[in-house]
Structure 1
């Protein structure tokens, strides 16, 4: 994301600073990019810190975006494709019961999903730019899937899932606290299922992500 933004807004001098807690933030053109770390808790903490500091700014932020690489559910989101979340779901936030997994919403004490109103215009812009793009649910997990059985179980509970990652729900929770819409946009580095490190394409996925942000019409992010 940061590399693509620098390419797109080459005339804008990047401004770097450290937020409280040590979270690095870089401003490039219209974007502030925060490196949050791995997992929903780290993502929520970093996002909430950035949003709290920006709360008094004018005009402030219009959208919080969770971005990076992801595992894609084949065949909908093959390696190298872009995924845009229309819904972000915390897939393993809940409890195991004798009848199977129950999320915290079913248990009656929380929420596990957020909708992403910017998904359709962003996906349309990406497709018009020639980027293969899948739109659907992006699952947030704290433990990455490593077996075909686990992949099948997730798809059984979330038939519209296109990818899994580890930070989107944390960003969504922080954004919700500031009444800010959220989006998750990722490129696929591997297939969800059995761990096959030889098939991972992390470098290629990061290059693809940079290309997306170098070309994306930024007006689509905030309407």
Structure 2
């Protein structure tokens, strides 16, 4: 089994990379650091999948939270909303689908969302499944936060999840997205964030998942 393990930054998955370097195993895991944001992620994933098609892509990273999840909680994303692909108008957001510029059920979208159809993979994580939203500009404005909370039902926010879902759905490669909560979204006060704990918990879950996949392979 060839697994592509991807993250926006190396520090988010470094403990897992260190573990793999020490232990190896029967499952081949290739790390890919895409860079931050939708453009970098889309390019890096498309290029890598085109040159060496993996059996599974696992994206892992930290995330801001729109609900009451605690720092360090690790979740698996079952569906993505592209939360800023459109226009803010009349104090609300209008998506490409609202503006009739795209079909909300045109592949790879389902009701305007990018849904992970690989339910058995999702179940293998043993994690709570949530909806996430992807943005190109980190959300800090209280009005926009309230709008997203009331209208997207997203639990976490990232800048790379949507491209993972889009590219993998388009190429037919099974995928997973794991996110560890590091902070509540809002004003960027990093004294209230807990990035080290989020990374620790993320990598504990990630290593456990890789061990499970290796056991099933053997």
Q: TM-score, normalised by structure 2?
A: 0.77
1:63 corresponds in structure 2 to: 56
2:87 corresponds in structure 1 to: 95
SS in 1 for 2:40: helix
Quote how far apart the aligned CAs of 1:35 are.
0.2
1:218 corresponds in structure 2 to: 213
2:171 corresponds in structure 1 to: 178
1:144 corresponds in structure 2 to: 138
- Partners of 1:220 and 1:147 in 2: CA distance: 45
**Contact 1:9-1:29 within 8 A present in 2 as well:** no
- Partners of 1:38 and 1:46 in 2: CA distance: 11
What are the superposed Cα offsets for residues 148-203 of structure 1, whole Å, 9 maximum, x if unpaired?
332211111212x1100110111222223312233321111111223221111112
Q: Sort the Cα spacing of 1:6 and 1:47 in 2 relative to 1 into closer, same or farther, 3 A.
A: same
Quote how far apart the aligned CAs of 1:72 are.
1.5
2:4 corresponds in structure 1 to: none
Quote how far apart the aligned CAs of 1:68 are.
0.7
Q: Does 1:198 align with 2:210?
A: no
The partner residue of 1:209 within 195, 202, 206 is 202
The partner residue of 2:147 within 150, 153, 175 is 153
Structure 1: unaligned runs, 5 residues or longer: 14-27, 55-59, 127-132
Quote how far apart the aligned CAs of 1:5 are.
5.1
1:11 corresponds in structure 2 to: 23
**Contact 1:122-1:220 within 8 A present in 2 as well:** no
Across the two proteins, how many residue pairs are aligned to each other?
Answer: 195
The partner residue of 2:43 within 45, 49, 60 is 45
Alignment of 1:14-25 (within 5 A): none
2:32 corresponds in structure 1 to: 34
**Contact 1:138-1:184 within 8 A present in 2 as well:** no
1:81 corresponds in structure 2 to: 73
RMSD over aligned CA atoms reads: 2.8
1:116 corresponds in structure 2 to: 116
- Partners of 2:142 and 2:59 in 1: CA distance: 26
SS in 2 for 1:139: strand
Quote how far apart the aligned CAs of 1:85 are.
0.8
Q: Sort the Cα spacing of 1:43 and 1:207 in 2 relative to 1 into closer, same or farther, 3 A.
A: same
Q: Sort the Cα spacing of 1:105 and 1:201 in 2 relative to 1 into closer, same or farther, 3 A.
A: same
- Partners of 2:215 and 2:62 in 1: CA distance: 21
Structure 2: unaligned runs, 5 residues or longer: 1-12, 103-108
* Structure 1 ranges of 4+ moved more than 4 A: 219-222
